């Protein structure tokens, strides 16, 4: 199993940290589902290099709406994706049949795009 960070996790309060996802696609999806507290996932393309994994229910958690994720929304808007992002998200490389884990260069690039609006580290 990989031990080098290869994705970003962002909670709905703007706290962002590097995470290490498994290289096995099924395990990777299970971990993303767990850390975003989502029963189903969909990806939002952030240009050709990145994908944002979000809850496919449109921000619903049971009968309650998830809080807006302002930082994820700003990042999505930076990549010309409209609408609001709700709840925690994971950012990986682009996806067609599962996640593509990020290299150090990819992590640095997406962190640069996040800029000074992120609160780095765990909440």
77 closest CA partner among 65, 85, 89: 85
Full-model pTM: 0.86
User: Does the residue 58 lie in any domain?
Assistant: yes
Q: Sorting pLDDT into bands at 50, 70 and 90, what band is 64?
A: confident
Phi, psi dihedrals of residue 101, rounded to the nearest 5°: -75, 145
Size of the chain in residues: 123
Q: Which residues are 42's β-sheet partners?
A: 54
How much is the pLDDT for 5?
92
- State the chain's mean pLDDT as an integer: 85
Please check whether residue 40 lies inside any domain of the structure.
yes
- Relative to beta strand 64-65, strand 60-61 is antiparallel
Structural domain includes residue 82: yes
How many domains does the structure of the chain reveal?
Answer: 1
Chain centre to alpha carbon of residue 79: 14
Q: Which domain holds residue 53?
A: 13-95+104-120
- Integer-rounded Cα radius of gyration of the chain: 13
Q: What is the mean pLDDT of residues 60-65?
A: 70
* Backbone φ and ψ of 10, nearest 5°: -135, 125
What is the structure's pLDDT at 95? 74
The residue assigned the tokens 């975003």 is 36
Is residue 5 included in any domain, yes or no? no
Give tens-digit pLDDT for 73-110. 999 998 999 989 989 999 999 876 656 899 999 998 89
């Amino acid at each position: 199993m990989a031990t080098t960070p290869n994705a970003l996790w962002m909670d709905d309060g703007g706290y962002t940290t590097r995470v290490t996802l498994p290289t096995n696609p099924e395990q990777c999806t299970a971990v993303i589902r767990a850390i975003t507290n989502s029963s189903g996932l969909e990806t939002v393309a952030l240009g050709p290099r990145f994908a944002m994994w979000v809850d496919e229910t449109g921000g619903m958690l049971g009968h309650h709406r998830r809080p807006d994720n302002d930082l994820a929304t700003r990042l999505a808007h930076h990549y010309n994706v409209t609408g609001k992002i709700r709840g925690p998200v994971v950012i990986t490389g682009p996806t067609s049949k599962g996640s593509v884990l990020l290299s150090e260069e990819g992590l640095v690039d997406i962190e640069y795009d996040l800029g000074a609006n992120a609160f780095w580290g765990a909440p």
